[in-house]
Amino acid sequence: MKILTAVLAALLVLPAWAEEDQQARLREIKQRIESLQQELNQVRSQRDQLLKDLEENEKDISELHRRVDQIKNDMRSRTDKLRELKQEQQQLEESRRSMQRRVEQEIAAAYRLGRQEQIKLLLNQQDPQHIARQLRYHEYFLQERSRVIDDYLDTLAGLETVSGNIRRERDTLDAERRQLQERENQLQVARRARQSTLDKLAARLADKSGELQQLKGDRSRLQRLVDEVGRAIASLVSPQDQQPFAKHRGRMQWPAKGRRANAYGQRRANGITWTGVTIRAPEGEPVRAIHRGRVVFSDYLRGQGMLLILDHGDGYMSLYGHNQSLTRSLGEWVERGDTIARVGDSGGLSQSGLYFEIRHRGKPQDPTVWCRS
């Protein structure tokens, strides 16, 4: 779990006169969060070690998914560029054929007139003014002939350049296809390692008491993180044009499309109640911000997998858990509807889905009150 402290200084908007006091407070916040990080990641038992292994497996998978998406996006851009280059090549080839016919006509005309055309005009013993006009016409004719030939040579050079660019783009695309295949093979290996870890964890959680203990631990970790984040960002200043979160109550879109697998406050089989909503959605589907906000956590949290938290000001936060990958980093501002993550099954889920919470001053809120059904 990366901590907020690495970039927290960049997020604080400080008046100049208070900078020294704020720096001292910032150092205190860093120490508090670092201490929390060490405690949350401490390995106390074999089960904790398995959970740590699961974290490493899922972080590897998340990073591989990020690289695969990056390669695919780059390949789409290069494919579009290759298509444009081929169109340009086709247009240049058509120009080349047209210009070649024109050059052939110019060469034929020059051959018919024979060499030393200007001398022939002078020896015709015609009226001097007529000869002068003819010489000017002849000069224009030679200039046009030269321009046609130069244009033809430029077109040939352009064709050669475009052909070279096409070869390079094809070579790069082939290399990216090989790289993509390699990353996808690595993904398969990482998924098998994850499944092996999950099987070992399941064997240790065969009874309900073990499952209940793990769920309580997960809830406690999330609550402590939210509380610590809330304290750490208390001094952050929102932009003047920030729309108050509370004004959009009941009018926000859900962060992902899919069936809601549970209701807020619903009692689970083990006696714990839900403090958020799980949205069943296919792996890789976009997760969108419900409101403008600043990313205050973007990393792995045991029990929640790849987790992203947005601060919306006035004590409101939205939480997005169990993601496949996170597309926004700590400190970034996002707008309503921006893609911030991809749906996944991290955190040990058996099927993909997004876990979604809304909190006010650290306390869970019913998402159905805030988002349109």
User: Beta partners for 299?
Assistant: 307
- State the pLDDT at residue 73: 84
* Secondary structure (3-state) at 336: coil
- State the pLDDT at residue 368: 94
Q: How far, in Å, CA of 368 to CA of 373, rounded?
A: 7
- State the pLDDT at residue 128: 53
Per-residue pLDDT of the chain (373 residues; tens, 9 = 90+): 444 444 444 444 444 444 465 455 545 554 565 566 566 666 555 566 777 777 788 888 888 888 888 888 888 888 888 788 788 778 777 777 777 777 666 666 665 555 445 555 545 555 555 545 544 555 555 566 667 677 767 777 777 787 887 888 888 888 888 888 888 888 788 888 888 877 777 776 555 556 677 778 788 888 888 888 888 777 666 677 788 999 999 999 999 999 999 999 998 866 789 999 999 999 999 999 999 998 888 888 888 999 999 999 889 999 999 999 999 988 889 999 999 999 999 988 888 999 999 999 999 999 999 998 6
Domain boundaries defined on the chain: 29-204, 241-373
- State the pLDDT at residue 12: 43
Span 149-189, pLDDT tens digits: 777 677 777 777 878 878 888 888 888 888 888 888 887 88
State both tokens at 158.
């352009």
With contact defined as beta carbons under 8 Å apart, do 324 and 369 qualify? no
Give me the numbers of helices (H) and strands (E) for the chain, helices first please: 7, 10
Q: Top-level CATH class of 241-373? A: mainly beta
Q: How far, in Å, CA of 207 to CA of 216, rounded?
A: 15
What pTM was computed for the model?
Answer: 0.64
Strand 333-334 versus strand 316-326 pairing type: unpaired
Q: Top-level CATH class of 29-204? A: mainly alpha
Q: How far, in Å, CA of 65 to CA of 69, rounded?
A: 6
Q: What stretch of H or E contains 43?
A: none
Burial class (CB in 10 A: 0-12, 13-18, 19+), 187: middle
Helices (H), 205-301: 208-232
Q: How far, in Å, CA of 264 to CA of 364, rounded?
A: 9
- State the pLDDT at residue 5: 47
Q: Which residues contact 43 (CB under 8 A, 6 or more apart)?
A: 49, 52
Topology alike, domains 29-204 and 241-373: no
- State the pLDDT at residue 6: 45
DSSP symbols for 108-121: HHHHHH-S-HHHHH
**Burial readout 74-92 (b: 16 or more C-beta within 10 A, e: otherwise):** ebeeeeeebeebeebbeeb
State both tokens at 166.
């096409």
With contact defined as beta carbons under 8 Å apart, do 234 and 8 qualify? no
With contact defined as beta carbons under 8 Å apart, do 61 and 127 qualify? no
- State the pLDDT at residue 22: 46
Question: Which residue type, as a one-letter code, is found at position 56?
Answer: E
